[in-house]
Structure 1
Amino acid sequence: MHAYKNIALILFSSIVILTGCTEVKQVSEQSQSKESTEQQSLIKAKVEKVVDGDTISVQMNGSEETVRMLLIDTPETKHPNKPVQPYGPEASQFAKEKLSGQQIKLEIGTTKRDKYDRILAYVYVNGEMYNKQVVQSGLARVAYVYPPNDKYVEELRKAEQDAKNNARGIWNEPDYVQEDGFHADAIQEKKKQPDSSQSNISLPYAPDGPDRDCGDFQKQIVAQAFFEAAGGPSEDPHRLDRDQDGVVCETLP
C-alpha cells in the first residue's frame, strides 16, 4: 500500500512539472510570437526627400511613396494656399538633420492612407520615434487624432507637455498654437510691440515704403529692426529673410 502511495506521488509530481514546463513554453512561444509580429509590422524604407517637418518621400518595396507622419502637425512651409508659418523652416531643418538619406522603419497606422494617398505612419530612425522627437523639441503639436489610428497619442501628449513646460519652439509664442492650428497673427501682434533692444534704433526708411534690400543698410541690427517693423517673418514684404530663419542680412556687421 505504501509503495502505491509513493508511485502515485511520483506520478502527480511529474504531471505538475510537465504542466509547468508546458505553460512556460507556451508563454515563451507567445512572447516570441508577439515580438516577431511587432518586428514584421515595421517596414524598412529609405528617405529620399524631406518635404517638411511632418512629411517625407521614401523608397519602399521598390517604389516611391509619400509618408505623412501620424498624430503630429508642424507649421507650414509648402502649403499652396498658406504663407510660410513661423517655426516651419525650423521644423523642416530638424527633419532634414534627423532623416535625410537615412534608412528608417515605418509603423503603418490602422488606416493606411489619407485622402491624398499618403501613407500614414510612425517613423523610426536609429530606434527612436521621430514623431515623438519633433513634438518634444517644440516644433510640432499633437493633432489629427482619429481613433483607432491613435496608438501612441498618450506618449506624444506627454512629449508635448514637456515641450510646453519648457517653452520650446512653438510653445514660446503665446496664442500661436491653437486648437485649429497655428496662428501667425498672434506673433505678428507681438512683433508690433517695440522690442526694448531695438526701440531706440532710428530707422532710415519707412517700413511700408519702397522695396529695400540688405545693401541699403550699414548695420545688421538696423536691418533687423526694419525687418521687424515691416511685419517680421510672417510678412517680410522686402524679402530680407531669404533663408527664412528670422534673422536678416547676416553678412552685415
Structure 2
Amino acid sequence: MKKRILTALLTGLLLLSGCSQPLAPPASNEKTAAAPQTEQTTSTKAAQSQSPNGKQASYPTDDLNLPRVPVELVKAVDGDTISVMFEGKKENVRMLLIDTPETSHPKLGVQPFGPEAKAFTKELVEQADKLELEFDIGPNRDKYSRLLAYVYVDGKMVQEALLEQGLARVAYIYPPNVRYVDKFNDLQRISREKALGIWSVENYAQEDGFHPEEQDRDAQSKSTAASGESPEPAETVASAAGSAKSGCSIKGNINSKGEKIYHTPESPYYERTKEEQWFCTEEEAVAAGFRAPRS
C-alpha cells in the first residue's frame, strides 16, 4: 500500500515539473538576431541621404528624367562655352547658371584659372562618348544667339563638375532658367570652404565677376606675412590712392562682363575695387557711363 502511494506521489511530481517548462524558445535570440539588421538598415539610409562631405545629397531635381538632345562636338571654346552641331548647324552653347574665368576676352584677356577651366571642359567633352544638351523652361538663347543649356558628358553634367573643382562660380541667374541653382549653390559653397581653384585666392571671385588684381594682392599679403612685416592698413592705401585726383574718392571699375560700375566709400566692395577711373561726384560717374552697384 505504501509502495502505491509513493509511486503516485512521484508520478504527480514529474507531471508538475513537465508542465512548468516554457512552451516556446526565448524571444531574446530573435531580438539579438534582428538588432544588426536594424542597424544596417539605418546605416544604409544615412549613406543614401548624405554625400561624403556630410551634406544632403538628394535634390527635388535629381529624378526629373528630362529629355536631352544629343549633339556632336565641334570644339571647346572656353570653360563655360562649347561649339556643337545642333539641328544641322554649328552653334555655340553657353552653359546655364555658371561663369568661368576668361581665356580670350578682347578686353579682359586671360584671367587666373581661365586656362585651367577651359582645359578641364575640353578634356571632358572631347573624351565623352555621348554629348547631350538639356534646356530649361525659359529662353534657350541669349542676346548673342548662343544656345543656353545644361551640358552632359556620358550622363554627368559639366556645370556640376566645374563647380566641384572650384573652376566656376554660380552666376547669371535669370528666372525661369534656374532649375539646378540650389544644387549649384551647395556645390559652390563646398568648393569655397575647401579653397579650391578660384576660391583659393581671397576676393578673386566676387558677385560682379572675377578680379585678377586680387591674385597679386593676395600673393603680396602672403609674402608680407611670411616676412613678418606689418601690412599697410587698407584705409591708408585708399586714402593715398584717392588723392590721385585732387581728393576725389569715387572709384570707377569695369567688371568681367564689361559693365561700368562706380563705388563710393560707403560701397561694401569699395576697398576691394581697383580703380580704373576716379570721380569726384556720382553725377560725374553717371555722365561717364558708370552705374551704381546693385544691392
Same fold (TM over 0.5): yes
Percent identity reads: 46
Give me the whole-angstrom Cα distance separating, in 1, the residues matched to 2:135 and 2:65.
11
Give me the whole-angstrom Cα distance separating, in 1, the residues matched to 2:154 and 2:166.
21
Q: 1:195 to 1:157 in 2, by over 3 A?
A: same
User: Which sections of structure 2, spanning at least 5 residues, go unmatched?
Assistant: 1-63, 228-295
Alignment of 1:108 with 2:135, yes or no, is yes
Q: Deviations over 1:5-24 (max 9, x none)?
A: xxxxxxxxxxxxxxxxxxxx
Q: Which has the higher contact order (CA 8 A, sep 6+)?
A: 1
Give me the whole-angstrom Cα distance separating, in 2, the residues matched to 1:169 and 1:62.
37
Confirm or deny: 8 A CA contact 1:56 1:67 kept in the other structure.
Answer: yes
Give me the whole-angstrom Cα distance separating, in 2, the residues matched to 1:69 and 1:126.
16
Aligned to 1:63: 89
Q: Which amino acid aligns with 1:66?
A: N
User: Which sections of structure 1, spanning at least 5 residues, go unmatched?
Assistant: 1-36, 200-253
Confirm or deny: 8 A CA contact 1:48 1:58 kept in the other structure.
Answer: yes
Confirm or deny: 8 A CA contact 1:67 1:118 kept in the other structure.
Answer: yes
Aligned to 2:283: none
Q: 1:128 to 1:101 in 2, by over 3 A?
A: closer
Q: 1:82 to 1:38 in 2, by over 3 A?
A: same
Confirm or deny: 8 A CA contact 1:46 1:101 kept in the other structure.
Answer: no
Q: CA deviation at 1:191?
A: 2.7
Q: Which of 169, 186, 194 is matched with 2:214 structurally?
A: 186
Q: Which of 165, 181, 186 is matched with 2:193 structurally?
A: 165
Give me the whole-angstrom Cα distance separating, in 2, the residues matched to 1:90 and 1:186.
18
Aligned to 1:175: 203
Aligned to 1:148: 176
Q: CA deviation at 1:148?
A: 0.7
Q: Which of 115, 123, 134 is matched with 1:89 structurally?
A: 115
Q: Which amino acid aligns with 1:146?
A: Y
- TM-score by length of structure 2 reads 0.52
RMSD: 2.1
Q: 1:80 to 1:161 in 2, by over 3 A?
A: same
Q: CA deviation at 1:47?
A: 1.5
Give me the whole-angstrom Cα distance separating, in 2, the residues matched to 1:49 and 1:76.
16
Q: Which amino acid aligns with 1:165?
A: E
Q: Deviations over 1:227-246 (max 9, x none)?
A: xxxxxxxxxxxxxxxxxxxx
Q: Deviations over 1:60-107 (max 9, x none)?
A: 222111000000000011211112110000000101111126331100
3-state secondary structure, aligned to 1:112: coil
Shift >6 Å, 4+ stretches: none
Number of positions where the alignment pairs a residue of Structure 1 with one of Structure 2: 162
Give me the whole-angstrom Cα distance separating, in 1, the residues matched to 2:213 and 2:107.
16
Give me the whole-angstrom Cα distance separating, in 1, the residues matched to 2:166 and 2:213.
19
Give me the whole-angstrom Cα distance separating, in 2, the residues matched to 1:134 and 1:100.
15
Aligned to 1:136: 164
Q: CA deviation at 1:194?
A: 6.9
3-state secondary structure, aligned to 2:135: strand
Q: Which amino acid aligns with 1:145?
A: I
Give me the whole-angstrom Cα distance separating, in 2, the residues matched to 1:180 and 1:170.
14
User: Based on CA coordinates, which of the two structures has the bigger radius of gyration?
Assistant: 2
Q: Which amino acid aligns with 2:217?
A: E
Q: Which amino acid aligns with 1:105?
A: E
Give me the whole-angstrom Cα distance separating, in 1, the residues matched to 2:164 and 2:84.
24
3-state secondary structure, aligned to 1:84: coil
Q: CA deviation at 1:193?
A: 4.6
